Each structure stands twice: as C-alpha cells, then as structure tokens.
Amino acid sequence: MPYPTYLLLGLLLGGPLLFSHGSYGQIVLTQSPDYVSVSPGETVTLTCKASSSVGYALAWYQQKSGQAPKLLIYGASTRHTGTPERISGSWTWTDFTLTISRMEAEDAADYYCQQDGWTPHTQ
C-alpha cells in the first residue's frame, strides 16, 4: 500500500503548506517547501523529489475535503482531462514540479505526488 506525500494548500485563510514524507515501494518521495504563504493571484511551485529515478512515472493529485483524490497530472507533465492550463507539471531526472499559476479559491486543497504510470488512472 503506497503512502503518498501530502501537501495542504492554505489559500484564503493564509494557512501554511504542510507536508509529510511518504514512500512507494523502495522509492521515497519528498515534497517541499515545508511552509509557504499563498495569496489569490499568485503562483505557487510544489516540488517532489524522488530518492532514485522513476523516469517520468509520477502523478500529481488534488484532494478536497470529503472528496476522492482527483488526478491533475500524469507522466510528470501531461494534464489529465479537465485540468486547467494554469496548472502544469515538469521534471528533470528525479526532481518533479507542480506549478499553479494565478491561484484561485478553488485551488484550496491537499496536493500530493505519487509514483505512477504514464497513462491516466481513474478513481
């Protein structure tokens, strides 16, 4: 059972971004930064570092309170259906990045990265 790394995005209340470490098999994923203050309209960059190469097999998920996780990005940089263009993913070797531009209230959620395949998985 994988333990994804979670990220809490505090938007309107000015809350911090919180993260915890998790692992998937022998690969450890570490999200950063520890804390960041985000205001509407700003750009936030979330980083996920793998302990060893996973190729581009990494996905980013968004989870809002009381809802199932929603796939945003798969294959490190491919937007899943319905993911806005202002949300993008990129990667270099073991470093993966999720960038959310022009933050909106609807972006307030938990975000996490997980080692994954390059094809989308349904919830």
Whichever domain contains 97, its CATH number is 2.60.40.10
Segment 97-123, tens digit of pLDDT = 999 999 998 888 888 899 885 544 444
Rounded to two decimals, the pTM is 0.74
Q: Which pair of tokens denotes residue 56?
A: 């581009």
The predicted pLDDT at position 81 comes to 97
| Range(s) of the domain holding residue 47 | 5-115
Query: Residue 91 falls within a domain, yes or no?
Result: yes
Task: Work out how many domains the chain is built from and give that number.
Answer: 1
State pLDDT tens for residues 49-66. 999 888 889 999 998 889
Residue with tokens 């972006």: 107
Write the DSSP symbol of residue 118: S
Cα–Cα distance for residue pair 10/32, rounded to 1 Å:
15
CA-CA distance, 114 to 88, in Å (whole number)? 16
Q: What is the pLDDT of residue 108?
A: 85
* 120 occurs within a structural domain: no
